[in-house]
Chain A
Amino acid sequence: MDKFRMMFQFLQSNQESFMNGICGIMALASAQLYASFEFNCPCMPEYNYTYGIGVLVIPAFWFFLLGFVLNNNVSMLVEEWRRPTGQRGKDPTILRYMFISISQRSLIAPAVWISVTLMDGESFVCAYSVDLDVYQFGNATEHGLSEEELMRMLAKIPCKLIFDGQHIISREAATRYIQCVSQAFGWLFLLLITVIAFLIRAIRPCFTQAAFLKTKYWSHYVDIERKMFDETCTEHAKGFAKVCIQQYFESISGEMRSFHGHLRGDDSDDDDDDDEKHNNDEDKLLGIWAQDDMDKVLWNWHTCKPPLSLRKDGVSDDSNSFVNGNVSMNQHTFVNGDGYPSNTIQKKEWAVYYSKV
């Protein structure tokens, strides 16, 4: 029992810690992706803004979708959402809980990307360099450039190597200023999401704790039930396949047996051990003793596969059709033709099959 307990604790915490691990790996991957990404501002007034804001927003969105893709519980959520009601009512709070927990995990990697991008500042410099006020950073009071030329010069600020307006505006000062603004936005963003997460996690037990326990149990139950069903189906398929093949062999060997005549002799003279071993080996042969029998088995397996319908084993051929067929019977008692000796103690064993008929 102790081992059981430890195993289940490990599994349960393992599943959650597995999801948390995937979460953490994606966050690290997003930070690493940013570090290895070569930011290349186009330095042209028309495209700067699109590029800068695009680099900020699009990978975040992509990470969010990736989080959904990697999460196994998404298919479970959709299944539970779309199934017909059947005999079991649907609880919308469970669906909401599952959706929220999946979203929370998927939001971590995009948040890391956005904060790393904002802290680094390059995307903001690229996007907003054209909006700078020249007079605040200007070295000279008069610049003598037209609007368009001014914009083009400002757009070149993010690119160190091609900037040519050093006499008009100090590039480092402008870059520093925009980076500060970007970092301020980054810290504010982090503060905001931390406060929201704090409110949700730390304050929630004050409200609806009992309902929360209920939804947590039933959403976990839905997950486990799905796994149990798959497991039971797999075991059933194994049993089905095994019995089907056994009956196929026996059906062919049954034909063979009647065709070739009885080949097995009486083994009651041997020892017990030998007898058992002999019987086991013979059982494994399933009645196939000769080469052309085996050839027929193999041939028929391809040309004429048996139907997917197992015979009920152990009942005599007369009653077989009653058991397997469409006739419904209630409480009929069949008396065996052979009588029991009446002076000895009678052993009555009842084989009972239950049904809903």
Chain B
Amino acid sequence: MGNGTIQEITHCFLFLPESSAIRAALLIQRWYRQYVARLEMRRRCTWNIFQSIEYAGEQDQIKLYNFFGFLMDHFTPASSERNLISHIFRENEICRDTEWERYFCYKDIEVPDSYTGPHLTFPMTFCGVSKLVEAFKHKQQLHARYVLQLLGETWRLLRILPNINQVSACHTKEITICGDLHGHLEDLLLIFYKNGLPSSEKPYVFNGDFVDRGKNSLEILLILFGFLLVYPNDVHLNRGNHEDHIVNLRYGFTKEVLGKYRMHGKKILKLLQKIFSWLPLATVIDHKVLIVHGGISDTTDLNTIARVDRHKVREPTHHAVNGSKTQMMNNRNREAGGLVEGRRRVCSLTYHSSAPAYKHNLPRRSLHNQPTSSQLNWSVEEELKRRRRQAGFDQSYGELTKSDSDSDPESGETTETDEHEWKQIVDMLWSDPMPQNGCSPNEVRGGGCYWGPDVSEEVLGKHNLQLLIRSHECKQEGYEFCHNRRVLTIFSASNYYEVGSNRGAYIRMGPDLVPHFIQYQASRTSREFTLRQSIGWTERSALRALKEQLFVHKSDLISAFHEFDPNNTGLISLSHWASVTEKVLNLGLPWRVLRPQLVSSTRYGMVDYHQWIRELSITEPKLEISDNSILETMYKNHSNLETIFRIIDTDHSGLISFEEFRQTWKLLSSHLKTEISDKAIADLAQSIDFNKDGSIDINEFMEAFRLVDLSAHS
């Protein structure tokens, strides 16, 4: 059976009509299958793009905190950055809960008569929560008084819950398990519509990442906490890596809260910080099914997890920083070998001690200076002195790895246990499964590890478990098995990357502990997209995001291209184009496949890279900046800059002073190891016209530099 020729088909048509229909059918089937396969490849590429950019952002975040950690350990009293850092990291841990309760008290907050939103009464009832759900469905906002009251009750309840929720599936009820929601209220409402509201007859487990990215993170939290209060034995919440106030600074939750609650937002955020630290870490069903947000590592031990003081363990982000710090050091000096290399390298996260530096009472969490007496103020200076003594003076960044082995004898059992404990937690919240055996640091995320099928077998076997359910990774169909069906990923935010990018799903599980899946896709339009249409839409969005990344790396790309164009012809071969772009962006994408959509024309297999870069220029900033290098730094470090700004803005007013602004830039330039002159910063500040009141509005500033896509083909 070969390819038909025109003559063959017409010949057959004339003499054997039935067989010509068969031939025609064969041709059409072959054609169509090829078409579908091409779509599938495009979909995978698009997925890769979104995922790579997302994880690169998370890695960026961790690097930033790694940098802060470094500064905390290494600046001398004379350093000008000292005040800023201590300003950022001071915390009054000594405050007792009663003091906090007073601070969070809602009683003085009046609800005006003009308020049209829902009124809550406590203790919470099923009617109360349903009313809340209805109100949010109709886009109403809950008054700050009720928010604080609800959160306060939640905090009180969470404190008496264990680290690991133990649940039993019995014959009268099935358990529903949901994955990441990420502020997608429409998905939660869809789940409730299809599956019913939580109740004693309808137990639910929510597996973390309730917040960030979507715009209704707070509403989701309030609904989940409401149901938790009404049915504490039937609603179970696991902490996710986004239930972390440092991550929230970058990924939108902080901004959402401050935007919705201008007066009380700061208090709400502070209370949420406490609540997040008190969220349970895992849920186990019938001693057989383990549910955690991220996953496991080769050192995962549920008995350890059950014992830790989960709220006292430092910020998981902080831990991710410390845990992989040794690895990070090594990474900095290595070539950008691409993500494939990273995953293959199997090395342990075991920590050879910069341990002394990270003792128990490290004041690193805070974004607030609480006006309390000096007795309660932890002295950052004293802490730093002590740690510098332990770690040794005058260590350069690169030398830290060498001195690791000369760890201070003072770092005894306690510290090692602490390290072990927080590593367990970080692994639980940040890890991802991989196809090959072994366990290696998760360098894509910057925290947790990659674990293989052998680790799944070992850990599940050790604890006599049969299934691990986790979330943390977006999946096209909303769920996916791996590791011989021992590990199941469940993801409940549909259209996560873009409209049409993926379905969401949830699990129903009865006493037989066999998972059943229900998929859905929230959509604003009633029309169903064809395969072709939805891929096109998502693809366009992914390519836009990718072009943005290329644009912000303009200078690096051009200088790298020059290296392969010694005669300055302005042309570069396709394969060089692909390898250079990968080296600069480090996203692990199949550039040659993407090339037709990124580069409009080639000449005899060569790319005119100057023209290409010009075509990528997709925006004009709204401000006049003479210094081009600052502009590029701005675009490239958009998220980092915003994160730093928000940290500095400790009273969450949305405004920072010129001095703080200047210090931010100094900090950023240290982190990036580039030079940004005082004059350039002054010019920048001037052009923002902050002189009116001596302060800069963060939102306005970031808005001015947001990339706007003016390209014709969008």
Whether chain B is bound by chain A comes out as no
List chain B positions with a Cβ less than 8 A from chain A: none
List chain A positions with a Cβ less than 8 A from chain B: none
